[in-house]
Structure 1
Amino acid sequence: MKSLPFTLMLLPLYMLAQQPSPKPPVRVGVAGLVHTHVHWILGRAERGDIEIVGIAEPNRELAERYAKQHGFSMDLVYPDLESMLEATKPEAVTAFNTIYGHLEVVEACAPRGIHVMVEKPLAVNLEHARKMESLAQEHNILLLTNYETTWYGSNHKVKSLADEGVLGPIRKMVIHDGHEGPIEIGCNPEFTDWLCDPKWNGGGAIIDFGCYGANLSTWLMKGERPTSVFAVTQQIKPHLYPKVDDEATIVLTYPEAQAIIQASWNWPYSRKDMEVYGKSGAAFALDATRLKVRLPESATFEPQTATARPAPYDDPFALLAALVRKTIPYDEMSLSSLENNMIVVEILQAAVQSAETGERVHLPLD
C-alpha cells in the first residue's frame, strides 16, 4: 500500500487547528432566590452555555434549602450582591429578587459592564424603569426581561400568521394569564411575602399576570404603544390578599385594534393562552405547543401543533449567553427587549392609575 505524502498526513491536523475553539460558558451570577422562577436556572439541564459562579441571597436558610434541592455548593452563596459581584466577576446577572429590587441590581451591575436579565416585569414602576434604561444605555449593557410565554412555540406561530397577513390586520387580542392564586397553589412564603405587597411588586394580579398580556400585545403590534389604557381591579379574596388586587382586566386601545388582558389569581386552573383576531381570520394559542387556526376561507378552526423553538431561542439563559457572546443579533422588537418592556411598564403604570381613578389613561405618560 502506497503511503500518503507527509503534507497530506498533516492536513487533518491543520484543518482541526483552523476550527474556531468553542466559546467558554458565560459566567452568570444570580441576584436573589426569593422569586420561585429561580428554579428555572437552578434546575436547568447542562447545556455548556452558562456557568453559575455566584448567588447573592441574605436568607441563608432559603439558600441551604435550594442548595439541597438542586445540588449546588453553598460556597457559591454570598450574603449580598456587592460581595458576590466583587468575588466572582460575572459577565451577566439574572435577577430573581423582588421587582422593586431590579433597579438596585442594574445600579450595581451596569457601571461594572455586567449584563442583566430580570424576571418579569422589568420594573416596579416607570420611574425605576427609566433609571434602569438610562443606566443600561450609558454603560452599554444588555437589559433583558424573561417571561415564560416568550418560549412558547404556539405564540410565535400566531405571530408569524399575523405578520404574514394570513389573518388580515389585527383587530382584537384577548390574553388570559394566571392561576388559582399564589397562596392557593402553594408558593413558598419567601415569595408570597413580597408578591402580595404593593411596594415590592407594584400591585397584585394586575402586575404579576398583566405584564404577560402587555408584553405579548406590544410584540404583536410590532412595538406600537397603545393610545389609552383602562383597567378594573377587584379584591375577591381580601382575607388572603388584603394589600393587593387578585383580579384585573386591562383594555388597551390602538388606532385600529384592541387588546383585552385578563390577569387573575381566581382562575380555576393555571393558564397562559391568547386569542388573536384579524380582519379575516383568527388564531388561538392554547398552551405552549397547541393552537387552533381559522383561516379566511374556512368555517371552522383547525388544530395545529407548533414546532419547538430552535436554540438559543428556546430558553432564556441560552438567549442571554448568545447575546453576550454576540453569536446572534439583538432584536429590539423581541419579547425580551428593553424597548418592548419599557412600554410594558408604562402600560402597567397606566393600568394601576386607571383602576385607582376609574378613568381611562392616555399614553404616553409624562
Structure 2
Amino acid sequence: MAPTLRMGMVGMGNAGLAFISAIQNHPDFEWVAFVEPHETTKVTYETRWGVKGYTDLSAMLASELLDVVCIASPTEHHTRQALEAIAAGLHVLVEKPMAVTLEDARTMVRAASDHGVILLVGHSHSYDMPILKMREVVASGRLGAVRMAHNWCFTDWIYRPRRPDELSASSGGGVTLRQGSHQFDILRLVCGGRVRSVRARTYDWDRTRPAIGAHCVYLDFEDGAVATAVYNGYGGFQTSELVEGLSEWGFPQPARGWDVKRRGQIASNSQDELRAKQERAGKVIPDHAPFHPFFGITVVSCEGGDIRQSPQGLRLYTAEGVEEIVYATDRSPRELVLDELAGAIHGRVAAVHDGGWGMANLEICLAAISSSERATEIFLNEQRAVPL
C-alpha cells in the first residue's frame, strides 16, 4: 500500500476551504498544516479543525514534514509559492489559472521537471464526472470524430463579492482568466487538446464594475474540430434555466426563482465587499450534491451523434435515439482531483492536468484577451494533446 501523502494548504478562502473535506476523506492524503496570513482567522481555523496554522509558507515548510503543498492563494502569488515548495522537494497542486504570465508558468513547469516532482493544476470543471465521461465516449470512437463542442455559461459572476485582484486581468482576474479557464479546459479535454488558434471578443460594459465580465471565444483545433466558449457574468439570464434548474454545483435552484446578483447589489465600498467575501468563504462550494455539477451547458457534436450532460450523467443522441448514461454522484470533483494527483505521485497514472496542460490553458486565456484587444486571430505555441 502506498504511503499517505502529507499535505499543507496555502490559502484558506473559498478555493482552499473547498478542498478540506476532500483531503480529509481521501485515503491517500492527510491534511497536516495550512497557511493563513490573518492571525485571527488562523486561530479560528486551528480551533475548528485541530490542524496547525502558519502565517507564511516559509514557516510551514520549515516546521512541518510535508509531501504535497496545495496552493489556493490569489493568482499573483502562485509562481513564487510554487517555486518555494518545489525547491523544498514537494509536489504541488495549484489552483487555476496557474500563473499570471506564460513566462511564470514556464518557470514553474521547468522547476517541477528539474526537481522531479509533480505539478498539477486544478480544480477546473474538466474534473467533473460528466466531462471526464464525455472524454471517454469520444476516445472510444463510438460516435466518430469530434467536429464541434460548445460551453456556454451565463451567471452573476461579476457582481459577487470580489477582492480587487479578482477583477484585474493583470493580476489573473476577470471572467476570461478565472472562468474561461474552466471552459477552455472542458473544451480541450473533449476535443483532444491541441488548439491551433483563438479568435475572441471580451467585454467590460459596466463602468461601475470595471473588469472583463463577458467573452465570446472561438477555438480552432489542429485536427479540424472547432469550439465556442461563451460566458456572460452580468447577472441576467442564467444557464441553469437550460439545465433542468440545476446550479453549478449540482443543486436545484430555489423554486421562487433565480437568486441572482445584479448591477447595484454589490457592497458600497471595498472593505464591505471584502468582508462579504470572507463571510461567504466556505459556504459556496459543497462537499457533495444530489446531482452532477453543471458549469453552464456543454454540447459535443461528433460525426455519429451528439453528447450533452444530464443531471444523472450523460445523454447521447444518435440515429438509434436518446441514450441516458448514469454515473454515481458520490465523488466530488475535488476528490477526483486528488485521485489524479495521488495516482501521478505514486506512478499509477500519467497526469492529464499537469503543469504543461495548465500552461496551455493559460495560453488560451491570454490569447483570447489579446485577440480582443488586437481584433485578430492569435496562433498558439504551447498546446498539447490529451495523454492517452
Give the TM-score band, short-chain normalised. Answer: 0.7 to 0.9
- What is the alpha-carbon distance in structure 2 between the residues aligned to residue 157 and residue 322 of structure 1? 18
Structure-2 change in CA distance of 1:54 and 1:150 (3 Å) = same
- For the 8 Å contact 2:198–2:367, the answer to whether it is kept is yes
In the alignment, the residues of structure 1 paired with residue 10 and residue 94 of structure 2 have an alpha-carbon distance, to the nearest angstrom, of 9
Which one-letter code corresponds to 2:26 in the other structure?
Answer: R
Equivalent residue number for residue 341 of structure 2 = 320
Give per-residue Cα distances to partners, 1:312-357, cap 9 Å, x unaligned.
995323432343334x2223xx2x2223222111111111111211
Contact between 2:127 and 2:333, CA under 8 Å: does it hold in 1? no
2:95 is the alignment partner of 1:72 = no
> 1:191-233, CA deviations, whole angstroms, 9 ceiling, x for partnerless residues?
x3321222322x4111111111221222223332x22101111
Native 8 Å contact 1:166 1:281 kept in 2: no
Contact 1:177 1:212 in 2 (8 A): no
Q: Which residue of 2 aligns with 1:112?
A: 88
Of the three residues 301, 305, 313, the one matched with 1:277 is 301
TM-superposed deviation, 1:43: 3.2
SS in 2 for 1:41: helix
Q: Which moved more, 1:263-272 or 1:342-351?
A: 263-272
Q: Over aligned residues, Cα RMSD in angstroms?
A: 2.7
Change (3 A) 1:58 1:112: same
Is 1:43 paired with 2:21?
Answer: yes
CA distance in 2, matches of 1:309, 1:171: 32
Unaligned runs of 5+ in 2: 241-247, 249-293, 384-388
Percent of aligned positions with the same letter in both sequences?
A: 21
**How far is 1:156 from its partner?**
2.3
TM-score, structure 2 length as denominator? 0.76
Residue number in structure 1 paired with 2:191: 221
- Partner of residue 4, structure 1: none
The aligned counterpart of 1:60 is: 39
In structure 2, the CA distance between the partners of 1:48 and 1:157, relative to structure 1 (3 Å rule), is closer
For residues 119-171 of structure 1, the C-alpha deviation after alignment (integer angstroms, 9 at most, x for no partner) is: 12222221111111111111111000112424422112221221122222111
3-state secondary structure, aligned to 1:123: coil
User: 2:207 is paired with a residue of what secondary structure?
Assistant: coil
2:341, 2:37 → 1: CA distance? 25
Task: Give 1:27's aligned residue.
Answer: 6
Which whole-Å CA distance do the structure 2 matches of 1:127 and 1:208 have between them? 18
Aligned to 1:196: 167
Alignment partners' CA distance in 2, 1:325 and 1:306: 26
- C-alpha separation in 2, matches of 1:26 and 1:79: 22
> Residue 19 of structure 1 corresponds to which residue in structure 2?
none
> What is the rounded CA distance, in whole Å, between the counterparts of 1:177 and 1:121 in structure 2?
18
- 1:282-308 CA-partner distances (Å, limit 9, x unpaired): 101245x4322112x23x544332345
Q: How many pairs were matched up?
A: 325
Q: 1:275 to 1:83 in 2, by over 3 A?
A: same
2:362 is matched with: 345
Task: Note if 1:205 corresponds to 2:175.
Answer: yes
Q: Distance in 2 between matches of 1:39 and 1:90?
A: 19
Q: How do 1:30-179 and structure 2 match up within 5 A?
A: 30-34=9-13, 36-44=14-22, 45-67=24-46, 71-73=48-50, 76-177=52-153, 179=155
Report which of the two structures shows the higher radius of gyration computed on alpha carbons.
1
Q: Contact between 1:173 and 1:259, CA under 8 Å: does it hold in 2?
A: yes
Letter aligned with residue 357 of structure 2: N
Distance in 1, matches of 2:373 and 2:200, equals: 9
Whether contact under 8 Å (2:359, 2:382) holds in the other structure is no
Q: Which residue of 2 aligns with 1:330?
A: 350
**What SS does the corresponding residue of 1:100 show, helix, strand or coil?**
helix
Measure, in 2, the Cα distance between the counterparts of 1:312 and 1:180.
22
Moved more, 208-217 or 263-272: 263-272
CA distance in 1, matches of 2:44, 2:158: 20
1:265 matches 2:233:
yes
Q: Deviations over 1:229-287 (max 9, x none)?
A: 01111124332x31x21111111112411110123323525441311001231101245
User: Which residue identity does 1:321 align to in structure 2?
Assistant: A
SS of aligned partner of 1:61: helix
Structure 1: runs of 5+ lacking an equivalent: 1-21
**Further displaced range: 130-139 or 161-170:** 161-170
CA gap 1:52/1:182 in 2 versus in 1, 3 angstroms? farther
Counterpart of 1:230?
199
